[in-house]
Structure 1
């Protein structure tokens, strides 16, 4: 429900302001606005009220909105009105330059909205991003997808198409949208070129298992609370990996790579258990893995007193109990635990029972009543205070924030163009990943976070501006294109021809919407059934 609420809020803000751009420019040039609707009112409206010449309303279908201008062939396909003599207050009676401004009014407001939101966000929350330099200081770690497309563990990405990207998440996007990727491997510079098939593989997993920071092996700890799927190995909570056979490694990916050399064999895995080095026999499967799955904890410290709550799941037992971010969790029922996995092991024994959490909040001791769910969990995450931070957070002055907001909006517009070009290349299969509001809502977080919502609204606003710029009949860009052609040639399409063009455009748009909505709804049903 929170995800649904977020997408409805974001769509409402964007649609109302976009249509207001058309409305206010139309009123500037004394064009009569017959309707102003949030969402589509196909068949009926949820709410409507006429004020002056304009009917204001909310439709039942949340796929956009519209303003109906007198004397214009638009989504309403009201051709009867066009048979009458043109009136001074009608859209068609206005000079071409005024009609062009009215058509671009929504797009202009979308861009101005993004500027405004980013300016406010940068001066309040700050301009935040993950630093490429910090994250890949020791090189990068690549999952199976990254290895398959040509990367190797330890590679550093220097630039894409000759441009260095200081933001790590943008660098990954650049790699997908660019052509030539310059990397550093073992001190040498090399160039990788991702094929459309490579990009299809990365997109097919939505970027998962592609690339991330390298993890020190000394900070990889086994969580035996979750069973390890291995034929021979017996791990205990807190086991620390060090190497395989006679080899010791610095990074976890080095150990993973070594295991691939021992497929379908049993190897001696070197570990530290209770501060004592020891060796256990481990079966390696046909894929070169030993079945860790999600049983590995990555972090520099497991000390409860040295960790803090960094996430509380929405609707979880932890949230109901009043656990908050930055709380230091010591234990429960007045029993303290030194190690996090000791806490998890004992908590699992309290499944479907009530406990009292012992918490430090701003150095003040607190006791919170909580119910442990049937899986032995509360619904929170911990992070070590010693965990290295890759995030940059710059709080900007108003002037600098506005300047950066303009740059960010332009960069996002460029990304939209590149992504559209990628969609038009069938071999990348990028078209399969175009999402409707249903798919977008499912990707939103399940907790209400204003910082995220406003950032996402600004990003979505630029996306909406780009989409409406496309020269497709039925979109603002299509109307603008015909108006510009009229300004250049001095000739206009007949009302009959305009009606045919508008009909064709609407068929294209409705078909695309049906396909994207159908795909996302089908996936939602499948996920619910599985």
Structure 2
């Protein structure tokens, strides 16, 4: 069921993004009087189609893209039979270069606008919630395996990033920082300031799927919230509002300490010391095979919640949307510099499906769709023949020089671009499949 939910979200997300992208081309082409023969979400074979006016609208069986077929245009269909004849006034090739340029930019523009709108709506509806630097440093951090490789230790207080102040916990491992170079942290450890350097290839380790869960997290003070009736905790007399002090003589003031002690004592009885309104209570409880006692905790870490006005949402959402593009540029720079492994950095449909998660969370769904919309715009703008960016390069050359590339050159360029794209698609799908094992 979890796999079906992830696949369902992926297909819905891709259908939305491909639909608005191709609609951008269609609406621009029709605005300039061009004939659009086909509009398809998904690639052939066709599973549904309907003719409206001059255009056939269809859904293809392969949901990894889509296309519009504009009369008189050399595209991925490589249909060039009619190009030997004089262009008709409603054909793509008969229109001025600036109009053709706008048509080719139409999909990219609509994807950018879609991404911005999604991020604006998310900011307006959800606001933001974060842990401040001061709240974080009351308790310190929990360092997991990858965090320890980076140089952090559980209990560290992070007091500066690259020698500068920071505002919130998320700044410590922001994508911009992970994709940067020569970054370092200043931490307070056992009363002394210690420098922790981030290796420039750290993002390569982070990209490995087994490391993605956690690097570091805030330490979380807690109290007991709910005790499950009939559980080991209930039998031990533990109550809502209790504060654990020690388990088997080990301090457990933070949730990570409690988890560590319980995991080390599965299927055993442990001694527990509790603070109950200033009174010291001692009891014993049996730890289940999954390392639990049968209770839920209340997190006492304080979060700052900020709501945005609509005007603030416009600014915040637009910034967040274009930050995705900037991070993609930095990511490509690191790949070309050889600082990250391409196999770990490029994601195909299988990896993208996992980003949505095994539960249908609409906030997360739209966040991923907004991110993918900006990524799709960026990728389509790359100057590769068969992508919109390749057409943009040729049309820009025509506008600047006044000379149009020959139809034969455009046809051959399209073939080269298709080989590149199909090879890339095969690579990411095979790479995704291998990463599952």
The TM tier, using the shorter chain, reads 0.7 to 0.9
CA contact (8 A) 1:160 1:179 kept: no
CA contact (8 A) 2:204 2:344 kept: no
Equivalent in the alignment of 1:51: 52
Equivalent in the alignment of 1:518: 430
SS class of match (1:175): helix
Equivalent in the alignment of 1:16: 19
Classify 1:140/1:116 alpha carbon distance in 2 versus 1 (closer, same or farther; 3 Å). Answer: same
Classify 1:215/1:388 alpha carbon distance in 2 versus 1 (closer, same or farther; 3 Å). Answer: closer
For residues 151 and 95 of structure 1, the distance between their equivalents in structure 2, rounded to whole angstroms, comes to 60
- Higher RCO (C-alpha under 8 Å, 6+ residues apart): 2
Equivalent in the alignment of 1:413: 325
Query: Unpaired segments of 5 or more residues in structure 2?
Result: 225-230, 233-243, 260-268, 277-282
What's the TM-score once normalised by structure 1's chain length?
0.66
Equivalent in the alignment of 1:446: 358
CA contact (8 A) 1:182 1:189 kept: no
Does residue 38 in structure 1 map to residue 36 in structure 2?
Answer: no
For residues 517 and 456 of structure 1, the distance between their equivalents in structure 2, rounded to whole angstroms, comes to 19
CA contact (8 A) 1:135 1:213 kept: yes
Does residue 210 in structure 1 map to residue 191 in structure 2?
Answer: no
Equivalent in the alignment of 2:338: 426
Match of 2:394 among 447, 459, 482: 482
Match of 1:387 among 285, 300, 305: 300
What's the TM-score once normalised by structure 2's chain length?
0.79
Equivalent in the alignment of 2:175: 173
Classify 1:504/1:469 alpha carbon distance in 2 versus 1 (closer, same or farther; 3 Å). Answer: same
Equivalent in the alignment of 1:2: 5
For residues 273 and 343 of structure 2, the distance between their equivalents in structure 1, rounded to whole angstroms, comes to 52
CA contact (8 A) 1:121 1:127 kept: no
Shift of 1:134: 3.6
Within a 5 Å distance, the mapping from 1:216-255 to structure 2 comes to 240=247
SS class of match (2:359): coil
For residues 511 and 202 of structure 1, the distance between their equivalents in structure 2, rounded to whole angstroms, comes to 26
Query: Unpaired segments of 5 or more residues in structure 1?
Result: 226-236, 257-270, 277-299, 302-338, 349-374
Classify 1:389/1:512 alpha carbon distance in 2 versus 1 (closer, same or farther; 3 Å). Answer: farther
For residues 100 and 161 of structure 1, the distance between their equivalents in structure 2, rounded to whole angstroms, comes to 46
SS class of match (1:55): strand
Shift of 1:57: 0.4
For residues 497 and 508 of structure 1, the distance between their equivalents in structure 2, rounded to whole angstroms, comes to 17
Q: Supply the RMSD in Å over aligned alpha carbons.
A: 3.7
For residues 161 and 501 of structure 1, the distance between their equivalents in structure 2, rounded to whole angstroms, comes to 49
For residues 291 and 248 of structure 2, the distance between their equivalents in structure 1, rounded to whole angstroms, comes to 27
Within a 5 Å distance, the mapping from 1:100-139 to structure 2 comes to 100-129=101-130, 131=132, 134-139=135-140
Does residue 184 in structure 1 map to residue 186 in structure 2?
Answer: yes
Match of 2:374 among 438, 451, 462: 462
SS class of match (1:461): helix
For residues 462 and 63 of structure 1, the distance between their equivalents in structure 2, rounded to whole angstroms, comes to 17
Equivalent in the alignment of 1:472: 384
For residues 425 and 411 of structure 2, the distance between their equivalents in structure 1, rounded to whole angstroms, comes to 21
Shift of 1:253: 8.7
